[in-house]
């Protein structure tokens, strides 16, 4: 039983560390994409043709609309994940296990055991955000390249429109890297078992620590 309990705690902490790293990477990408957007937006006045400039502005509006969706999803995830980490710290502290600092502050009240499932779900959410981030990164990069070409070659509105249509066609043909998600979801497997494992082994571990 002790071995099963130790495995449960080890897997819990390992899973949280993995999710912490994934979340930090996703947030950094979100910030980089937002910064790239602002820089591109500030570059619009360099396009002399009004029609070309407005076509690019419209494309940027389309991109930022999707970006806000990614950011909102990440913020929602971050709130739920903070609650899950608080639950983890509460549980570990209650059984006499020193909770790592990366679990955050100890909550004043107990959090339902069901929150454990939120950690596993968090990894699947981050997997989706990683895919969206990759798409957004490629999108803003392509827009920036197109804007620079339009500026350098003094494109007309028609030339810019044609280029944007080609870009849209290329974007629709691209598919997300499903293999990248597989690696993230594999890391979620131990956490999917956490809720049931803690329910089964938690009392045994409490007794062992008390003894």
Q: What is the pLDDT of residues 67-112, one digit of tens each?
A: 999 999 899 888 877 877 777 777 667 666 555 665 555 444 343 4
Dist CA 190 CA 174 (whole Å):
32
DSSP 100: P
Q: What is the DSSP string of 101-154?
A: GGG-SPPSS---GGGHHHHHHHHHHHHHHHHHHHHHHHHHHHHHHHHHHHHHHT
Q: Are 69 and 50 in contact (CB under 8 A)?
A: no
Give the model's pLDDT for residue 103: 56
User: Is a pLDDT exceeding 90 seen at residue 65?
Assistant: yes
Q: Are 166 and 104 in contact (CB under 8 A)?
A: no
User: Is a pLDDT exceeding 70 seen at residue 204?
Assistant: no
User: Is a pLDDT exceeding 80 seen at residue 161?
Assistant: yes
Give the model's pLDDT for residue 200: 45
| pLDDT (average), residues 34-42 | 97
Q: Which residue has the higher pLDDT, 3 or 166?
A: 166
Q: Which residue has the higher pLDDT, 210 or 10?
A: 10
Give the model's pLDDT for residue 117: 56
Dist CA 147 CA 158 (whole Å):
14
CA angle in degrees (0–180, nearest 5) for 81-87-89: 105
Split into its structural domains, the chain has a count of 1
**Domain range for 191:** 2-210
Residues in the chain: 211
Give the model's pLDDT for residue 182: 52
User: Is a pLDDT exceeding 70 seen at residue 57?
Assistant: yes
Averaged pLDDT score across all residues of the chain: 76
pTM for the whole thing? 0.75
Give the model's pLDDT for residue 72: 93
Dist CA 35 CA 137 (whole Å):
11
User: Is a pLDDT exceeding 90 seen at residue 122?
Assistant: no
Q: Which residue has the higher pLDDT, 200 or 26?
A: 26
Dist CA 138 CA 144 (whole Å):
10
């Amino acid at each position: 039983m002790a071995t099963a309990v130790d495995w449960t705690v080890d897997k819990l902490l390992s899973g949280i560390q993995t999710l912490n790293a994934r979340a930090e990477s996703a947030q950094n990408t979100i910030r980089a994409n937002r910064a790239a957007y602002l820089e591109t937006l500030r570059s619009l006045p360099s396009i002399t043709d009004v029609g070309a400039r407005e076509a690019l502005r419209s494309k940027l509006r389309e991109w930022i609309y999707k970006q806000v969706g990614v950011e909102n999803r990440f913020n929602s995830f971050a709130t739920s994940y903070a609650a899950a980490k608080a639950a983890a710290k509460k549980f570990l502290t209650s059984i006499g296990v020193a909770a790592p600092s990366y679990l955050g502050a100890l909550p004043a009240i107990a959090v339902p055991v069901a929150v454990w499932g939120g950690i596993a779900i968090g990894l699947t959410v981050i997997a989706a955000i990683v895919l969206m981030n990759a798409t957004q990164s490629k999108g803003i990069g392509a827009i920036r390249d197109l804007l620079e070409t339009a500026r350098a070659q003094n494109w007309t509105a028609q030339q810019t429109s044609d280029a944007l249509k080609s870009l849209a066609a290329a974007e629709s043909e691209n598919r997300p890297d499903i293999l990248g998600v597989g690696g993230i979801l594999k890391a979620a497997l131990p956490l999917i078992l956490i809720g049931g494992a803690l329910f089964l082994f938690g009392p045994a571990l409490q007794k062992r620590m008390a003894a």
